[in-house]
Amino acid sequence: MSEVRLGVLALQGAFREHIAMLQRLNVEAAEVRLAGELDDLDGLIIPGGESTSMGLVAERWGLVEPLRQWVHGGRPTWGTCAGMILLAEHATGQKLGGQALIGGLDVTVNRNYFGRQVDSFEADLNVPALGDTPFHAVFIRAPAITAVAEDVETLATVAALGDETESVVTAVRKGPILATAFHPELTGDLRWHRFFVQIVSDFKSCSG
Amino acid sequence: MSTKNGQQRDGQVERGTFAVKAGLAQMLKGGVIMDVVTADQARIAEEAGACAVMALERVPADIRKDGGVARMSDPRLIKEIMTAVTIPVMAKVRIGHFVEAQILEALGVDYIDESEVLTPADESHHINKHSFTIPFVCGCRNLGEALRRIAEGAAMIRTKGEAGTGDVVEAVRHARNVNGAIRRISRMDADELFTYAKDIQAPYELVKETAEQNRLPVVNFAAGGVATPADAALMMQLGVDGVFVGSGIFKSDDPAKRAHAIVQAVTHFNDPHILAEVSENLGAPMVGINVTELSEAEKLAERGW
């Protein structure tokens, strides 16, 4: 793997946990609050938190457009939970008046698909991309992906609400863009972070 | 479905675990939780970038002014606020009033604040928070109080400060108490930790975990007296994870503008140029009460055991 430098969007939410996970992998990670801090990064993580809070703070300091350029320019980006909502081209269940989205990932996200905090849950997911061992995922007031474009690869699913025979998508990848509805940064399992670092590293060596 | 220990199982899905309770608090970090008394105020808070709202009937400044017994809010009001916004909604119960907590759980609020701002219902016991699926946040003045609340099942802690005063001095005192104690115990040897746990009346295992990790086992916000963007940034620089603002927003001249400014200040707490910019022209803050002018009986932070 070539040396990579990652940024974690630090406007609000669980950014410190992502940085701690990357440090455990000996990957350099920086907090990103202003547009200039995107320079010299090879990849970006948009963490969990409240997507409305992040969107409003990003707007205030002119960060939405640089983030759009970053993602639409094909730079490696991973959104977890709120980060996944911000990356989605379409979102349902938004606050009145909508919210600023970055877009770039052609999926439809339902913002609080799984409901309120009483419905938050943990579950083992089969994720072939990470190997045979199931991934123990933590879902907090979590969104789900209800529609994906053809060129978007589904990496994990979970039973749909009210119908165990149906499933909804909880993790996807499209080229250098990764999105998860759950929070790998709240677990001790480094596999998703290693997976993303590999994407960043591959992207850097083919574009570098 | 059994709710024992807050765990519910259906198939492989587990709800109400400590990981999902503490996990929501982790998602609120770096954010501002605002007291609101109407659905309209909740919308203003959401538009200003609040990461959650606290639904209550009267802000602490009015509770102080009006006197009488302060209780859980009318469920109708809480439901209206839950419908109005997409961000998490918290609500307060009296210390020890586990039935008010059962009612809030039935309403499906996202977090319960077992709060000294309301009139205590039990003078020796706090709620056993392990028996709920909904997570709880509790106030503290020092490390011992924080760890006692965590032992009872609190998944998030806040400093008590002195609510409804607009005077940040008590929030600073409590944040310094907690963080100073953590710095001291992280250098103690095992013999000293046993004695320290006894002295602060906290479970040894939690004292040990805190010392090893050099931080509280759960997220810690500041509360009680934050009125300006500078106050909020001060608390962040003292090492808290986020900020509750009660009376400070809707008792000021221009709530929307001040709410927006405090949100920006919590994200950019280490950038004095941005703090200067957002502090400009906010109109008058809440008038406030100097904490040194309060008698001991008037101090809400003394409630809780």
Binding-face residues of A in 149-188 toward B, CB within 8 A: 159, 164, 183, 186
pLDDT of residue B67: 87
Parse chain B into domains and list their residue ranges.
Answer: 18-298
Mean pLDDT of B127-132: 97
pLDDT in tens, A42-66: 999 999 999 999 999 999 999 999 9
Percent of all residues in chain A with a pLDDT value above 90, rounded to a whole number? 85
Percent of chain A with pLDDT over 70: 97
Query: Judging by DSSP bridges, how do beta strands B111-115 and B89-94 pair with one another?
Result: parallel
CA dist list (Å): A141 to A47, A105, A116, B110, B113: 14, 21, 5, 9, 18
Task: Please determine, for residue A202, whether its predicted confidence score (pLDDT) is greater than 60.
Answer: yes
Q: Tell me which residue has tokens 């609190």.
A: B154
- Indicate the pLDDT class of residue B42, thresholds 50, 70 and 90: very high
pTM over 0.90: yes
Here the tokens at position B286 are: 């809440």
- The answer to whether the annotation marks B176 as part of a ligand binding site is yes
Phi-psi region of B219 (alpha: psi -120 to 50; beta: other; left: phi over 0): beta
Whole-complex ipTM: 0.94
Q: Mean pLDDT throughout B89-113?
A: 98
- pLDDT confidence of residue B64: 87
Q: What is the 3-state secondary structure (H, E, C) of A72-91?
A: HCCCCEEEECHHHHHHEEEE
Average pLDDT over residues A2-23: 95
Residue-wise pLDDT for A156-165, tens only, equals 999 988 888 8
Judged by CB atoms closer than 8 Å, whether chains meet at A121 and B11 is answered as: no
Q: What is the pLDDT, as a whole number, of residue B144?
A: 98
Cross-chain residue pair B30–A48, CB shorter than 8 Å? no
Q: How far is CA B48 from CA A9, B28, B87, B88, B223, in A?
A: 19, 15, 12, 14, 19
Q: Determine whether the interchain pair A53/B17 forms a contact, defined as Cβ–Cβ distance below 8 Å.
A: no
Reference A140, options B156, B43, B263, B18; nearest CA is: B18
Most A-contacting residue of B85, B243, B267 (CB-CB within 10 A), to test interface:
B267
For the cut 60, the answer to whether the pLDDT of residue A181 exceeds it is yes
Q: Mean pLDDT over all residues of chain B?
A: 93
The per-residue pLDDT for B2 is 33
Q: Angle formed by the axes of helices B39-48 and B75-84, to 10°?
A: 40
Residue A207, pLDDT above cutoff 60: yes
Instruction: Flag if A17 and B26 touch (Cβ within 8 Å).
Output: yes
Q: Which is higher by pLDDT, A98 or B197? A: B197
B31 — pLDDT class (breaks 50, 70, 90) = very high
Q: In what helix (H) or strand (E) does residue B266 lie, and over which residues does it extend?
A: helix B255-267
pLDDT tens, residue by residue, A98-108: 666 899 999 99
Q: Does position B8 have pLDDT exceeding 90, yes or no? A: no
Residue B71: per-residue pLDDT = 94
Q: What CATH number is associated with residue A67? A: 3.40.50.880
Query: Per-residue pLDDT for A97 more than 60?
Result: yes
Q: Across residues A91-101, what is the average pLDDT?
A: 76
> A30-44, A141-155, A166-180, B287-301: which range is least confident on average?
B287-301
Angle, alpha carbons B76-B82-B86 (nearest 5°): 165
Q: Which residues of A are catalytic?
A: 81, 183, 185
Structure tokens belonging to residue A99: 């919210």
Q: Is B106 on the interface with A (CB under 8 A)?
A: no
Q: Which domain holds residue A67?
A: 5-207
**Total number of domains constituting chain A:** 1
CA distances to B49, B226, B246, B261, B285 from B252, in Å:
17, 12, 11, 13, 5
Tokens found for residue B145: 């109080």
Alpha carbon of A44 to those of A60, A77, A109, B144: distances in Å?
20, 5, 20, 39
pLDDT at B169 over 70: yes
Q: Rounded to a whole number, what is the distance in Å from the CA of B49 to chain A's nearest CA?
A: 4
Q: Where are the alpha helices (DSSP H) in A25-134?
A: 51-60, 64-72, 82-87
Rounded CA-CA distance B145/B128 in Å is: 15
Q: Is B249 exposed, middle or buried (0-12, 13-18, 19+ CB in 10 A)?
A: buried
Three-class SS state of B50: coil
Domain B18-298: give its CATH architecture: Alpha-Beta Barrel (3.20)
